[in-house]
Amino acid sequence: MLLIYCPYCEEERSELEFRQAGDAHIARPTNMTEMSDEDFEAFFFLRDNIKGLTFERWRHLNGCGRFFNAARDTVSDKFLTTYKAGLPRPDVSTLRPATEATVETYEATESNAK
Amino acid sequence: MADLGADATGIVPATRTLPLAGFHGGSAAAVLSAAVPATRLSLRAGPDAVQALSGALGLSLPVQPKTSAFADGRHALWLGPDEWLVIDENEADLMAAVSASGALHSATDISHRNTAILVKGRSAAAAINGGCPQDLSLTAFPVGACSRTVLAKAEIVLLRTAEDAFRVECWRSFAPYVSGLLTEAAEDAGN
Amino acid sequence: MSGANRISGAGRLTPAKTARFVFDGRSYLALEGDTVASALLANGVHLVGRSFKYHRPRGIVSAGAEEPNALIGVERDVARQQPNVRATVQEVFDGAKIVSQNRWPSLSFDVGAVNNLLAPFFAAGFYYKTFMWPKQAWKHVYEPRIRAAAGLGVSPTEGDTDHYANRYAHCDVLVIGAGIAGLSAALAAAKTGARVILCDEQPEVGGALHFDTSVTVDGEDGFAWAQATAARLARMDNVTVLTRTTAFGYYAQNFVGLSERVTEHLARPDRRLPRERLWQVRAKRVVIATGAIERHMVFANNDRPGIMLASAARTFLNHFGVAVGRRVGVYTANDSAYEAAFDLKRAGVTIAAIVDSREQPSEEVLAEARALGIEVLAGHGVVDTSGKLRVASMSVARNGGGSARKIPIDALLMSAGWTPSVHMFSQSRGKVAYDFDTQRFLPGTYAQDCLSVGACNGTNDLQATIEEALAAGELMANATGFSAPEKLELQGSNAFAWTGGMAGSAEGAGPDTTVKAFIDFQNDVCAKDIRLAVREGMHSIEHIKRFTTNGMATDQGKLSNIHGLAIAAETLGREIPKVGLTTFRAPYTPVSFGTLINHSRGDLFDPTRKTPMHALEEAEGAVFEDVGQWKRAWYYPRAGEDMHQAVNRECRTVRETAGIFDASTLGKIEVVGPDAAQFLNLIYTNSWDTLKPGRCRYGIMLREDGFVYDDGVVGRMAEDRFHVTTTTGGAARVMNHMEDYLQTEFPHLKVWLTSATEQWAVIAVQGPKAREIIAPLVEGIDLSSEAFPHMSVREGRICGVPTRLFRMSFTGETGFEVNVPADFGPAVWAAISAEGEKVGACAYGTEAMHILRAEKGYIIVGQDTDGTVTPDDASLSWAVGKKKPDFVGIRGLKRSDLVADGRKQLVGLLTKDPKVVLEEGAQVVADPNQAVPMTMIGHVTSSYWSENCGRSIALALVAGGKARLGETLYVPMPDATIAVEVSEMVFFDKEGGRIHG
């Protein structure tokens, strides 16, 4: 069970109080009605499903109720940082290495063996 | 139909049925009881309104996370950056109080939405930790600390009223679950 | 006498404190503090189980949690039966009923042992290869039979009558393991004032001090020092000492799961106590002091009862006072086994010989052996054993071959060295590193804030262990902000420093073809199976593990891992670290389901939400249905009525007189602020600027993709205040959806949302006499249609308490929804019911509600829509603001697929035979005579018998449905094909006049 730092409560809380809420930094276009099918598809349907560093939204649902953003590594499952909604993406280079070598996966063990 | 007034109508005024009427339990080390009825407000406002609303409520609305204020039977709990839970144990008209503030805010009466269980005793924190994942040591959760959080599968608002006492607020329909879980956990913590 | 093999004066148990227990129907005497294993051995019982695959007789191998063989069932009563308990962990209590497992009809004569003779057919991978054909036979023939024959214990058939507890706990330093290392670390950490939790799986702290009686700490006997230290720690306010508590899982961010066995050792536990308690510990720092596990030697027939780990025999002697044999052999590659032999010899047991595979054992142990008159055969191996139900002899030969000497024995102790228990470290995602010098995997790269100390860190020397642990305890406490003025010092001493050890097949494992030299007792995996796996092409240790089942199940490689790995490496011609170690998985030892579930059972399985009026409805005889977590009154049968009759009466009464309905579960959201209308404009398809205070409007909410998400009536209470209602099931989800948009897309709007679902009890009064019923109770509101038309809301009083009174209807009748603060709900319900009774009204439930709304063609989001339905598909285009510049879903609605012809649209269906009621979910086809599979053009979403229409009615989603009005379609069912006619969605009062009455 993860601990997640809530940028509004200013402390780490149990994952049990939070809900994931999809990718971050996808702003709803202001010119919705004029969007082409392709643009709408890109905005609403297409997601990158990144392996590694990803920016996503979380809500401190059973806490302060705020939505906020997080930089998380989908391989190590580690949160690199969290920040308030509306703030720009943090500088990735200042964060820890995206994928840490210590992650044990079946694939990793496999490749060791070969 | 004109407003004829209560006397003339012959209407029998409705009585209250409390969700946790008569509830008490737990163990010697963590005594559980139902809190008496209180008025409650979900208060929402931006930072500009804090001073005016504080004046109207007669206490300083807390602006630090996980803190509360208390004055004359009235608690104001920080729940989020623009959200407070105000509880008045004397059942004062909180809606009227804040509406007189003149500041931009949202107030919703939730006196009947919530109910509360009081947990008291040396193992009070241990009992709540039967379902609540927060660190309830006095360093991490001192007297006056408060938080919306979870108790197993229910949402609660937790307020520490003394070193050995907590108020557990929950929505009324969750009261049987919350009181049931606390009963088991208090018995375990009391051993 | 508590067993013939109890040595007077040996061990730490009190001879006067006895307990009687039953093993497989026979009664035995034990001492308090005995494990089942020590008590059985005291009574000369070595045979305790049959192996998993070959049903070979098996005995006790260890004295701890690593035990692979001695799995037993513990039975307290018909409901409280626990299978697969380790006899070496389960403490004896007076009256305990213990049964062996995996044998039929009895332990000493087991029919399944024929598998042993058929062993050539049961090689590794046998199941995978043999039972593949014919395909169907696996599920119906092979698997059930194999399971019946090979299964471990039997699960109880009754519900568990025990209860279990949970505790979340936080600490600065968690110390896992309370041997000398863990105790030292805990002492140093506790001294700083840091919050410390110390846990150990055994009933008493001490770890290896249970058997190593040569240890002293600061001059005091080691075990006594350990008990005194634990007691001292337990008295400190900042320390929690948990014994009988296994750390079973190490998860992210120093989150560690502990399982505490609270009453397992008690004869008559207080039923208020939980049987087990789950501790979910969040530690700032963790000290891992989990020790090491002795490895067995891999040689021919090394699995006979009586063959066990040397340290186990030493534990049985020095802690429990039990001699595991009278004429004991030793086969070792390590010095530690010598100490077991010395202790037994001093206790009067004959040591037949110490067989040491090493040419040069250390001088110290050889000297002591000579002094005690024990024969040591260095450079020798045990090449075979004999004995059916207990070992009777060992055959010893010089390394490299030659003739074997058969030595009679009744127990054989073995040690191939010690495997550091890196399970917790590995579970923490730390990376182990192979130490070539000592042939061990040791903690390498740390992934979390933890430190390993003592034997699990590869530290052998006693004083080095103490110093390492003291330093770690202090360091970890310092890291959390605590410090002590002075350093702690402890001085330890012991008899011998141990050297030696080996991994893989020992001398005597013999050729592959016939010999069974076991590496994994529990899974019946032999050295030859590993070699076979490699020959069959399994080159990854993960594949070898799965092919052979080595280290699987409850063993998790505690004994077998290193041997299996060494043999695989040798066969592959690679170094051990190149072959890789299988990942250690949680749990370290099995955790019962009850512990994991703890409080979440029975009434506490999930919250059951009841409305304020629930008790009154129950008293009126309501039958309830589950709607999410809510219990809702489904129908109110009267004497002699079945559900159908009750529902028909309720439906009829509403339209003829009036009905009273509990609508409290509907979601309610208070939307407040100067920009409230603007916010609702964006969230709903409708326009809200034009709605005047005091009026209501039905609103539809879409997702951005244009599909209907939720619906409900919204009342404007004031310019800046709306009372929004949602579906019962949608309440939480809609609140989240609205908060999401408000916080992240429209944060500039001055508006706030508050859930008010439970603030209000809601009583719907519907029907021609609705006004008549509530009128006598209401004050301050003119109820006339002129002053209070359909779709209005007023504030006033009812029964003397405040109300938000809505004039609205989900039945098509004149209707009111009385909202009162929830505590007043029951009293107001009772008053309205009393008024209703005067005119012949009745309470109605959700079933009647569903029918009444279907008669009017009102949809239920989630029943008639499924996340692929647009407002137009549901004939709700009228509720979409055509001139609005923006709302959630506005662009989605214009997607080509959403405006294409032939979309599934909601229509009515009338069966040609009015008595036939369609099944909800049934598929609709155009041509019933087409070949199967037919082209399905839609499905039935709602279907009921309508008493008011005198026939069945249904709603369905049908492709191009609105253009098919009057068309005949078909609903094929298993027994018949039902002809239906496509109709309008409104079946009753098509003009809609009644609602305005």
Choose the weakest-confidence range: C554-563, C736-745, C795-804. C554-563
Among C579, C681, C743, C753, most A C-beta atoms within 10 A, so best to mutate, is C743
- Residues C625-636: tens digit of each pLDDT: 999 999 999 999
Q: Do B15 and C827 touch (CB under 8 A)?
A: yes
Which of residues 720 through 739 in chain C touch A, CB cutoff 8 A? 736, 739
Which is higher by pLDDT, C71 or C736? C736
Which chain A positions have a beta carbon within 8 Å of C583's beta carbon?
104, 106, 109
Scanning C813-895, the segments in alpha helix (DSSP H) are 825-839, 846-855
The set of chains that have 3 or more CB pairs under 8 A with A is: B, C
**Residue B4, pLDDT score:** 41
Please tell me if residue B80 touches chain A, with a CB cutoff of 8 Å. Answer: yes
Mean pLDDT across the stretch A95-110? 46
Which chain A positions have a beta carbon within 8 Å of C582's beta carbon?
109
Q: What is the DSSP letter of C211?
A: T
Q: Do B113 and C755 touch (CB under 8 A)?
A: yes
Across the interface, which of C540, C705, C890 has its CB nearest the CB of A44?
Answer: C705
Choose the weakest-confidence range: C97-111, C375-389, C561-575, C926-940. C97-111
A3-113 under CATH 3.30.2270.10, yes or no: yes
Q: What is the spatial distance between Cα C502 and Cα C338, in angstroms, rounded to a whole number?
A: 16
CA–CA min distance C743, chain A (Å): 7
Mean pLDDT across the stretch C313-331? 98
Using left for φ > 0, alpha for ψ between -120 and 50, and beta otherwise, residue C204 falls in: beta
Please tell me if residue A65 touches chain C, with a CB cutoff of 8 Å. Answer: yes
Which is higher by pLDDT, C103 or B65? B65
Which chain B positions have a beta carbon within 8 Å of A65's beta carbon?
79-80, 83, 148
Distance of CA C430 to the CA centre of its chain: 24
Which chain B positions have a beta carbon within 8 Å of C759's beta carbon?
108-113
Contact between C188 and C182 (Cβ < 8 Å): no
Contact between C355 and C406 (Cβ < 8 Å): no
pLDDT confidence bin for C112, thresholds 50/70/90? low
Contact between C946 and C952 (Cβ < 8 Å): yes
- Residues A21-52: tens digit of each pLDDT: 999 999 999 899 999 999 999 999 999 999 99
Q: By residue range, what is the domain housing residue C351?
A: 299-415
> Which percentage of chain C shows pLDDT scores above 70?
95
Please tell me if residue B148 touches chain A, with a CB cutoff of 8 Å. Answer: yes
Domain boundaries defined on chain A: 3-113
Q: What is the spatial distance between Cα B114 and Cα B108, in angstroms, rounded to a whole number?
A: 12
Across the interface, which of A1, A16, A63 has its CB nearest the CB of B148?
Answer: A63
Mean pLDDT across the stretch C605-619? 98
Helices C310-318 and C336-346: crossing angle in degrees, nearest 10, is 40
pLDDT confidence bin for C533, thresholds 50/70/90? very high
Across the interface, which of A1, A19, A37 has its CB nearest the CB of C251?
Answer: A1
Contact between C596 and C818 (Cβ < 8 Å): no
Distance of CA C557 to the CA centre of its chain: 22
Across the interface, which of A10, A63, A66 has its CB nearest the CB of B149?
Answer: A63
CA–CA min distance A18, chain B (Å): 10
Pairing of strands C307-309, C292-294: unpaired
Across the interface, which of C759, C779, C824 has its CB nearest the CB of B110?
Answer: C759
Instruction: Kindly tell me if the per-residue pLDDT of A109 is higher than 50.
Output: no
Count Cβ atoms below 10 Å from residue C449 Cβ, excluding itself.
Answer: 15
Using left for φ > 0, alpha for ψ between -120 and 50, and beta otherwise, residue C857 falls in: left
In a domain, C84, yes or no: no
**Residue B97, pLDDT score:** 96
Domain with residue C908: its CATH number is: 2.40.30.110
Please tell me if residue B123 touches chain A, with a CB cutoff of 8 Å. Answer: no
CB contacts < 8 A (A, B) = 40
Mean pLDDT across the stretch C521-544? 89
Q: Do B18 and C779 touch (CB under 8 A)?
A: no
CATH number of B38-110: 3.30.70.1520
Q: Where are the beta strands (DSSP E) in C917-976?
A: 923-924, 938-946, 951-959, 968-972
- Residues C440-452: tens digit of each pLDDT: 999 999 999 999 9
**Residue C514, pLDDT score:** 72
Domain with residue C537: its CATH number is: 1.10.10.1100
Last residue of a domain, one of C493, C526, C548: C493
Q: Do A17 and B66 touch (CB under 8 A)?
A: no
Contact between B26 and B184 (Cβ < 8 Å): no
Last residue of a domain, one of C393, C415, C437: C415
Which of residues 51 through 90 in chain A touch B, CB cutoff 8 A? 62-66
Q: How many domains does chain C have?
A: 5
Within this chain, do residues C786 and C713 fall inside the same structural domain, yes or no?
yes
- Compare all CA atoms of chain A with the CA of B131 and give the residue at the minimum distance: A16
Domain boundaries defined on chain B: 21-36+113-191, 38-110
Q: Do B17 and C825 touch (CB under 8 A)?
A: yes
- Compare all CA atoms of chain A with the CA of B66 and give the residue at the minimum distance: A9
Q: Do B148 and A10 touch (CB under 8 A)?
A: no
Q: Do C580 and A113 touch (CB under 8 A)?
A: yes
pLDDT confidence bin for B11, thresholds 50/70/90? confident
Distance of CA C728 to the CA centre of its chain: 29
Mean pLDDT across the stretch C972-993? 96
Which chain C positions have a beta carbon within 8 Å of A110's beta carbon?
540, 542
Please tell me if residue A5 touches chain B, with a CB cutoff of 8 Å. Answer: no
Report chain C's mean pLDDT, rounded to a whole number: 93
CB contacts < 8 A (B, C) = 164
Please tell me if residue A10 touches chain C, with a CB cutoff of 8 Å. Answer: no
Within this chain, do residues C275 and C340 fall inside the same structural domain, yes or no?
no
Q: Do C170 and B137 touch (CB under 8 A)?
A: yes
Asked if this assembly's ipTM is beyond 0.90, the reply is yes
The letter for the amino acid at C714 is: V
**Residue C142, pLDDT score:** 58
Within this chain, do residues C405 and C467 fall inside the same structural domain, yes or no?
no
Instruction: Kindly tell me if the per-residue pLDDT of C225 is higher than 60.
Output: yes
**Residue C125, pLDDT score:** 63
Q: Do A101 and C431 touch (CB under 8 A)?
A: yes
- Residues C68-86: tens digit of each pLDDT: 999 999 999 988 999 889 9
Which chain A positions have a beta carbon within 8 Å of B65's beta carbon?
8-11, 64
- Compare all CA atoms of chain B with the CA of C606 and give the residue at the minimum distance: B153
Q: What is the spatial distance between Cα C141 and Cα C133, in angstroms, rounded to a whole number?
A: 11
Q: Do C823 and B140 touch (CB under 8 A)?
A: no
**Residue C736, pLDDT score:** 98
In a domain, C600, yes or no: no
Within this chain, do residues C205 and C311 fall inside the same structural domain, yes or no?
no
**Residue C583, pLDDT score:** 78
**Residue B91, pLDDT score:** 96
Q: Which of B66, B77, B64 is nearest to B134 (CA)?
A: B66
- Residues A55-91: tens digit of each pLDDT: 999 999 999 999 999 999 998 889 999 999 999 999 8
Report chain B's mean pLDDT, rounded to a whole number: 94
Last residue of a domain, one of C361, C384, C415: C415
Mean pLDDT across the stretch C674-703? 97
Instruction: Kindly tell me if the per-residue pLDDT of A105 is higher than 90.
Output: no
Please tell me if residue B147 touches chain A, with a CB cutoff of 8 Å. Answer: yes
Please tell me if residue A13 touches chain C, with a CB cutoff of 8 Å. Answer: no
Contact between C695 and B131 (Cβ < 8 Å): no
**Residue C438, pLDDT score:** 87
Contact between C553 and C574 (Cβ < 8 Å): no
Q: Do C800 and B132 touch (CB under 8 A)?
A: no
Q: Do A9 and B66 touch (CB under 8 A)?
A: yes
Please tell me if residue B150 touches chain A, with a CB cutoff of 8 Å. Answer: yes
Scanning C804-938, the segments in alpha helix (DSSP H) are 825-839, 846-855, 896-899
**Residue C129, pLDDT score:** 57
Q: What is the spatial distance between Cα C307 and Cα C60, in angstroms, rounded to a whole number?
A: 8
**Residue C141, pLDDT score:** 61
In a domain, C524, yes or no: yes
Mean pLDDT across the stretch C682-706? 97
Which chain A positions have a beta carbon within 8 Å of B134's beta carbon?
13-14
Q: Do B16 and C824 touch (CB under 8 A)?
A: yes
- Residues C233-272: tens digit of each pLDDT: 999 999 999 999 999 999 999 999 999 999 999 999 998 8
**Residue C424, pLDDT score:** 96
Q: What is the spatial distance between Cα C937 and Cα C447, in angstroms, rounded to a whole number?
A: 56
- Residues C954-966: tens digit of each pLDDT: 999 999 999 999 9
CB contacts < 8 A (A, C) = 87
Q: Do A8 and B80 touch (CB under 8 A)?
A: yes
Which chain B positions have a beta carbon within 8 Å of C723's beta carbon?
none
φ, ψ of residue C144 to 5 degrees: the values are -60, -40
Pairing of strands C411-415, C327-332: parallel
**Residue C135, pLDDT score:** 61
- Compare all CA atoms of chain A with the CA of C280 and give the residue at the minimum distance: A1
Q: Dihedral of CA C843/C845/C851/C856: which sign?
A: positive
**Residue C123, pLDDT score:** 63
pLDDT confidence bin for C157, thresholds 50/70/90? confident
CA–CA min distance A80, chain B (Å): 22
B21-36+113-191 under CATH 3.40.190.10, yes or no: no
